[in-house]
Amino acid sequence: MAMQVIDTDGHIFEKDEDIFEYLEQPYRGRKELFAYPFFPPPDGFHRMFQRIIDQRPFVIAPDDPKTWLAVLDREGIDRTVIFPTGGLGVGLIQDRDWAVVVCRAYNNMMADRYINLNGRLGAVAVLPIQDIEEAAKELRRAVKELHMAGGLLAPVGFPKPLGDRYFDPLYKEAESLGYPLAIHGAPSKGLGFDFFPRLIQARTLSHPFAQMIHLTSIILEGVLERFPKLKIASLEAGCEWIPFLIDRLDMEYRNRSPQAPLLKKKPSEYMKGGQIYYHAELWEAMLPYVIERIGEDLILYASDYPHEPDLAQAIRNFEKRKDLTDSAKRKILSDNGKRFYNMEA
């Protein structure tokens, strides 16, 4: 099945040393900043230590753009949109001034080193949600000046849910620009299971729970009603939790609709109405049922490379699935990602 494969969520292991070069004055050249990590650790788990214990192969991260281009060629992917790794913990930053500084530096780095090198390499802007007016301004700068593909919404660490009106300036800006926002988790801190002693337990729940928490807030607080052209993606959580959340939201809305006065239709209609896109793992057994519930136009392919290797084999296995139509496969691997990231023009 020949098509352009669009990777809606690849990664780099960004280095503080690389971001350091793009800090603006008066912070440029101040090496004392290396005394602490630029982005907070995501939680109490050291991922690479755990990978060694698990005897999982570690792919040498494509931390330079030419290596990422080689990955695309090797794995048969046409374009990727790159997310950070450490930067996924941006919501844990307490100092809003530092959040603004480090986000600008990261975005400058990605534009200069990746986006400007080759059009096949895209990137999302890391946004300092600690200062929402600055986050809105940074999204506009990232899109208009740096040619980035959208903005990152950190779902863990910040003490307000994403449906809170605090975020309205950012949503208004994203809607005005016509560029998407992506909810992408990683940390497990503060999600209600900090008592887990092992990463395997936290990882089982962290990504889907973070998505369910914030989409519940976004939908029931009427964000999609107030910003009808806003596009949001739920990334790296798979898709099998979606029917569960749809049914729970509709059940609670039947019983308690006065508590969601801004809604003009059932929550399920917002979840499948075209404003929210969802990542799916290519192997998920419930994917045909998820398509039955929300349609085939809202599901995205994301490689998660280099966190997950063997992309080409995973894509080949997906193309051979007998329980999905060719139309669904094409939309998941290509068409939906193009539409979400405005690549169709």
Q: Who's near 123: CB < 8 A, 6+ residues apart?
A: 81, 82, 83, 107, 110, 111, 114, 115, 148, 149
β-pair partners for 234: 183, 278
Q: Which helix (H) or strand (E) holds 220?
A: helix 199-220
pLDDT for res 308: 74
pLDDT for res 2: 64
pLDDT for res 200: 87
Question: Are 170 and 229 spatial neighbours (Cβ–Cβ below 8 Å)?
Answer: no
Q: Does the model's pTM come out above 0.75?
A: yes
Residue 126: pLDDT above 80? yes
Mean pLDDT of 291-299: 98
pLDDT for res 18: 95
Tens of pLDDT, residues 75-99 = 999 999 999 999 999 999 999 999 9
Question: Are 170 and 126 spatial neighbours (Cβ–Cβ below 8 Å)?
Answer: no
Mean pLDDT of 121-139: 98
Residue 112: pLDDT above 70? yes
* Domain 6-340, classified CATH 3.20.20.140, yes or no: yes
- DSSP letter assigned to residue 172: H
Provide φ and ψ at 184, rounded to 5°: -135, 115
- DSSP letter assigned to residue 88: G
For the chain, the domains span 6-340
Question: Are 139 and 174 spatial neighbours (Cβ–Cβ below 8 Å)?
Answer: yes
Cα-Cα end-to-end distance for the chain: 23
Q: Nearest Cα to 240, choosing from 181, 306, 293, 286?
A: 286
Query: Which residue intervals of 12-95 are DSSP H helices?
Result: 16-20, 47-54, 65-75
Q: Which helix (H) or strand (E) holds 278?
A: strand 276-279
As a whole number of angstroms, the distance between CA 67 and CA 282 comes to 24
- Integer-rounded Cα Rg, in Å, for the chain is 19
- pLDDT grade for 46, boundaries at 50, 70 and 90: confident
Instruction: Please tell me whether the peptide bond between 37 and the residue prior to it is cis, using omega within 30 degrees of 0.
Output: no
- pLDDT grade for 52, boundaries at 50, 70 and 90: confident
What 3-state class would DSSP assign to 294?
Answer: helix
As a whole number of angstroms, the distance between CA 153 and CA 261 comes to 25
Tens of pLDDT, residues 184-215 = 999 998 899 889 998 889 889 999 999 999 99
Tens of pLDDT, residues 233-285 = 999 999 999 999 999 999 999 999 999 999 999 999 999 999 999 999 999 99
pLDDT for res 9: 97
| Residue 209 half-sphere exposure toward CB, CA atoms < 13 A | 15
Q: Which helix (H) or strand (E) holds 174?
A: helix 168-177
- pLDDT grade for 33, boundaries at 50, 70 and 90: very high
Question: Are 191 and 157 spatial neighbours (Cβ–Cβ below 8 Å)?
Answer: no
As a whole number of angstroms, the distance between CA 126 and CA 139 comes to 8
Provide φ and ψ at 316, rounded to 5°: -60, -45
Residue 301: pLDDT above 90? yes
- pLDDT grade for 44, boundaries at 50, 70 and 90: confident
